[in-house]
Amino acid sequence: MVKQTITIPSQALPVSYTPDVVVVGGGASGVAAAMAAARNGASTLLIEQRGYLGGMGTAALVPAFCPYTDGEKPVIRGIGLDLLEKMKQAAGEGFLKQYKEQLDWVPIDVETLKRVYDEAVLASGAQVLFHTVADQVLLEGDRISGLIISNKSGRSVVQAKLYIDASGDADLAALAGVPFQVGGEQGELQPGTMCYVVTGADKARFYQFLEETGEHKQLEQTVVKAQQNGDLPEGRKRISGMAWISDSVVGFNFGHIFGIDGTKAEDLTRAAIEGRKLIDTQIRFLRKYVPGFEHIHLVHSGDQIGIRETRRIQGDYTLVVEDFLSMRTFEDDIARNSYFIDIHLANATSTMTIKHLPKGQSHGVPYRCMLPVGKSNLIVAGRSVSSDRPVQGSLRVMPNCFAMGEAAGVAAAMASAAGLAGFREVPIAELQRNLIAQGAWLGEQPGKAYVAAAVGSVTFEDECK
């Protein structure tokens, strides 16, 4: 069906900001990008649609940070690791005591993290503009010449030298006409999850229950029993994420909403309604089946459903599963990744696929996969970089987004300072030296391309539903 169209009259818009660098999206990649660009001398504006930073970690209440280490050492360092430590310090004595030495699966104290992000971004010298969306891109050849932004103040134009798309959905790239892929071969997408936080739990009683029954902390036996009794819907037969913020406050990543395209407002609306309904079902399940949760009370559900995948841009290089499995290193690496491939089931009857690298191993993330074809002064950081679908299932997590964002920000500052035409002119060796000097880790031999020989040591798992 052809939709009715209306031609909007031309309008003269004021130019509201003229920074060196503009970052669209205030999630993990956007926070790191803005901080890195500003710290390296570029005047920087960070635009975020909500009234706080953090993306999926704060808006969607993802309960814990994914691993920063490869099982032996931190792979994600620099800005991302520093922000994790700042959250621990700011979350209070009890939280710090419990998680001081932990770098993998650290629970997220959402309200503390929001404040940490505010303070860190402002301290870097970047400017923040909340409650604002970029809804149109102005183009001159292969360059973006401006963004039209909308907020309570009206519509205006932001004109920058360089643009960083940290939206998570490649919104800016899509508006600029960059080609992209979505989901799998049939268009299938990983499901979303409406995460939430409860209070009134009894951690000691819960762990006593686990010890007495031999049940795993992800409650596989208990979930299956509840599904058989009709007290939980069919789907994944485990609680994929439970993070204890304190001895009585717990964050949950539990269950799926299927068929959600995070780039469509109608789907996000349906997901919000279905997600809150599912939370009510899960709360009833926890109170009935899980000792220690008899008296829990829901205190916070996500402002939106958590989204795992949407667009993947077409970049100068597409990172593919063979690169992951061979633990490949590239001459233009700007980060390392050791998180396992984690593709959630597309529907309630399918299975998940998980693929791990050997302990202590990682692969490189090349600068080229952040460079969208056909655009010179635009770079993309975060889960929508150029990769195939399996690799996106690994790259998409917040620690990796910090690392990619930091690289994008440093590159933007370098390009601005040198008066370069765009991101492709940034000298890679100098970018790598700057990243390492600022705390990033690019492997034992950064800048030297190779493919690991021990491909056979990679493990493969098809996890239960």
- Taking only the tens place, the pLDDT of each residue in 296-324 is 999 999 999 999 999 999 999 999 999 99
Average of per-residue pLDDT across 119-140: 98
CA distance 370 to 386: 6
Q: H or E element: which one contains 325? A: helix 321-325
Mean pLDDT of the chain: 94
What does R_g of the chain's alpha carbons equal in angstroms?
22
Q: Is the pLDDT of residue 277 over 80?
A: yes
Q: Is the pLDDT of residue 100 over 80?
A: yes
DSSP strand pairing (143-151 vs 154-158): antiparallel
Closest CA to 208 of 274, 292, 128: 292
Q: Quote the CA–CA distance of 27 and 13 in Å, as a whole number.
A: 28
pLDDT the model gives residue 236: 78
DSSP 3-state of 119: helix
pLDDT at position 182, please? 93
Query: Which of 152, 171, 414 has its CA nearest to residue 313?
Result: 171
pLDDT at 188: 87
Record the tokens describing residue 37, joined without a space: 């660009």
pLDDT at 197 exceeding the cut of 80: yes
Using pLDDT thresholds of 50, 70 and 90, give the confidence band for residue 1. low
pLDDT exceeds 50 at position 334: yes
| pLDDT band, very low/low/confident/very high, at 354 (cuts 50, 70, 90) | confident
What is the reported pLDDT for 39?
98
Q: How far apart are CA 359 and CA 361, in angstroms?
A: 6
Instruction: Please name the helix (run of DSSP H) or strand (run of DSSP E) that holds residue 38, with its range, or none.
Output: helix 28-39
Which element (helix H / strand E) includes 333?
strand 333-337
**Residue 315 CA, distance from chain mean position:** 19
The average pLDDT across 271-289 equals 98
Per-residue pLDDT, 346: 58
pLDDT at 451 over 60: yes
- Predicted confidence at residue 59, as pLDDT, reads 98
- As given in the structure block, the two tokens for residue 126 are 């970047």
pLDDT score of 355 = 86
User: In which band, very low, low, confident or very high, does the pLDDT at 106 lie, cut at 50, 70 and 90?
Assistant: very high
Residue in this structure with the two tokens 């406050």, named with its chain if needed: 249
Helices 398-418 and 28-39 sit at what angle, rounded to 10 degrees?
30
CA dist., res. 39 & res. 409, Å (int): 9
Whether the pLDDT of residue 288 is over 70: the answer is: yes
Asked whether residue 120 carries a pLDDT value surpassing 80, the answer given is: yes
pLDDT attached to residue 460: 38
C-alpha 166, offset from chain centre: 9
Query: Beta 333-337 vs 180-182: how paired, if at all?
Result: unpaired
Please compute the mean of the pLDDT values over residues 80-98 and round it to a whole number. 97
pLDDT at 449 over 80: no
Question: Do residues 56 and 383 touch, judged by C-beta distance below 8 A?
Answer: no
pLDDT at residue number 461: 43
**Quick one: average pLDDT of 225-234?**
95
Range in 15-24, 226-235, 343-352, 367-376 the model is least confident about: 343-352
Distance set, CA 261 to CA 24, 131, 331, 370 (Å)? 20, 22, 35, 22
Span of 19-33, 378-392, 443-457 with lowest mean pLDDT: 443-457
What pLDDT band is residue 235 in, cutting at 50, 70 and 90?
confident
Q: pLDDT confidence of 352, banded at 50, 70, 90?
A: low
What CATH number labels 13-184+311-338+363-442? 3.50.50.60
Q: What is the pLDDT of residues 145-168, one digit of tens each?
A: 999 999 999 999 999 999 999 999
Mean pLDDT, range 383-387, rounded to an integer: 97
As separate numbers, helices (DSSP H) first and strands (DSSP E) second, the chain gives 12, 20
For the cut 50, the answer to whether the pLDDT of residue 32 exceeds it is: yes
The answer to whether the beta carbons of residues 369 and 386 sit under 8 Å apart is: yes
Nearest alpha-carbon partner for 62 in 98, 101, 31, 27: 27
The pLDDT value recorded for residue 464 is 37
User: Residue 465: what pLDDT?
Assistant: 34
Distance CA 182, CA 180 (A): 7
pLDDT-derived band at 400 (thresholds 50, 70, 90) equals very high
